[in-house]
Structures are given as structure tokens and as C-alpha cells.
Amino acid sequence: MTTLHTRRAVIAWSFLAPMLIALALVAGWPLLRTILLSFTDAGLGDFSDSNWIGIGNYRDLIHDANWWRAVANTVGFTVISVTIETVLGLIIALTLDAHLPGRGVVRAAVLIPWAIPTVVSAKMWGWMLNDLYGVVNAVLLGLGLISKPWAWLADPVLSLVSVIAVDVWKGTPFMALLSLAALQVLPREIYEAARVDGVNPIRVFLEVTLPLIRPALLVAVVFRSLDALRVFDIIYVLTGDNPATASMSVYARQQLIDFQQVGMGSAAATFLFLIIALFATIVVTAGRIRVAGAR
């Protein structure tokens, strides 16, 4: 019995080893180095020429107003865009789940934003939202909804709205697909019973459907939130390093590359890592997500 166990374990670990070694090289080691570098005054030119300065970088970080702005931007961006994406994704999923003609077209159309690279979608929207020549301003002016062109990507408040709008366009398909997958495993009889009883569809949704798909929906929300907390591409391409919209990732990279302050950038990156780790730990220990092995 014991030998069989040992044999199995040996086989399992030898199959896992190549992947785990690769993962340690590309993830474990760089993460460890980032954390260590955050306690040094390393510059970009030569990493080895650095001194241990303790928590100096972290002290600078918490006194930097731009950092806290980046934290607020990231949290606001995450909460608002994930909320909108969840609601919109659910609406789309419910539409696709209703077996009506035309749903194939809708599903295909919805997959398009998902397939488009983030950088490309940011550029497409950047052009549409251009203050002088953008089609969005042209249409709004034409309809008389605005009297002069809006600076969608320059105004501090509007630019954050724009960034969220683009993320919603790009992220909703993922939510829709995952919600749809959850809806499709629900037994049809539930709806039949409700229909026979003449229950209002909205009540059916709120009292029957929603509680049943809640676990799957929560998993999707967690995945999207973790994604949104590390946002970089959309914001960097749409508004660059502008502090009005910079996320924590944008801030960290600016310190690291543009200001060549590896220590400071690493401290910001480590801080973001800790926030995400904390969020993930809370979610996992709350028992919402079970790891596959524990099934």
C-alpha cells in the first residue's frame, strides 16, 4: 500500500517537475528579485550596483500623492468596470440563452471585442474618442447632445470615464460567455414550472436564476477583478502616463523605466502584488472558489 503510494507520488512529481522548474524560473525567481530590489536603491543601468536601503522606497511611496491617486484610480476603475461588465454580461447571456432566431449572430458579434488585442481596441477607441476628429464627438454634436467637442481623453474626469468605457467594451464578452455557460447547465424544468404558474419573468430571474448561477458568476467576477486590478495596456495606450488616469501598474512602470528608479518601481509593484494576494486570499478562504484538486 505504502509503496504504491510512493510510486504514484514519484510518477506524479516527475511529470510535474519540468513545468514547475520552468515556472520557478519565469515567475518565482523574478518575483523574489522584485521584492528584494524594492529594498534597494538600484538603478536601471546596472542592477548589481545597488545598496540595501531598507524601507526607504516604501516611505517615499506612501508620501507620493501620485501613488495614492494611482491606487484610487485602480480601485475605482476595477469596481465600476467590473460592475458594469457583470450586469451587461448577464443581460447578453440571458439574451443568448433564450432560444430565439438570431442568437448565433449575436454570439459571434460579442466575441469580436474579446478577440481584438487590448492595444488595438484602445487605439480604435482612442481614434473614435479623438476630440477634434473623433466620430463620437461628431455624432453627439450632430444630434445636438453637446454644444462643443468634449476632450474625452484629456479632461481628468472624462478620461477615466473613457478608459472604463473601453474596458467595458473589451471585458463584457468574457463575463457574458461565463454567465452563459452557467445558465446553460440549469435544468429547463425550472423555467417551465415558473411559466405554468405565470410568475413574472423578472421575479423568476431574481429568485430562481440568479441564486443558482451565483457561484459561477462570482468566480467570473473574481477573475475579472484580478484582471482589472493589474490593468496596464488600456490606460497606457489611451492616456499614457497621465496621473489623472494612471493605474498602479502604469505608475510602477513609469518609476521603473522612465525614471529608471528600479527600487521605487519594485516597491510599487510589490505593493500591488500584496493587494492582489490579499484580495485573492480573502476570496479563496471565504470558500467561494475551490481549487480543482479539492473537488
Task: Out of 125, 150, 209, 235, point to the residue binding another protein (CB under 8 A).
Answer: 125
Q: Is 138 in the site for another protein (CB under 8 A)?
A: yes
Residue 158 binds to another protein (criterion: CB under 8 A): no
Collapsed DSSP state (helix, strand, coil) of residue 52: strand
204 in Cβ contact with 193 (< 8 Å) = no
Q: Does residue 197 bind another protein (CB under 8 A)?
A: no
Is residue 190 part of the contact set for another protein (CB under 8 A)? no
Return the number of the residue (129 or 160) whose C-beta is nearest another protein.
Answer: 129
Q: Kindly write out the interface string for residues 25-54 of this chain, putting x where it contacts another protein by CB under 8 A and - elsewhere.
A: -xx-xxxxxx--x----x-x--x-------
| 91 φ, ψ (degrees, to nearest 5) | -60, -45
Nearest-angstrom CA–CA distance, 156 and 87: 26
Give the one residue of 79, 87, 109, 210 binding another protein; rule: CB under 8 A. Answer: 109
Listed ranges 75-83, 150-158, 204-212, 228-236: which one lies at the site for another protein (CB under 8 A): 228-236
229 lies in the binding site for another protein (CB under 8 A): yes
Query: How far apart are CB 198 and another protein at their closest, in Å?
Result: 11
Give the cell for residue 255: 518609476
CA-CA-CA-CA torsion sign (270, 272, 275, 278): negative
Question: At 43, phi and psi to the nearest 5?
Answer: -110, 175
Of the pair 160, 262, the CB lying nearest another protein is at: 262
Q: For residue 51, what is the DSSP state?
A: -
The phi and psi torsions of 261 (rounded to 5 degrees) equal -100, 85
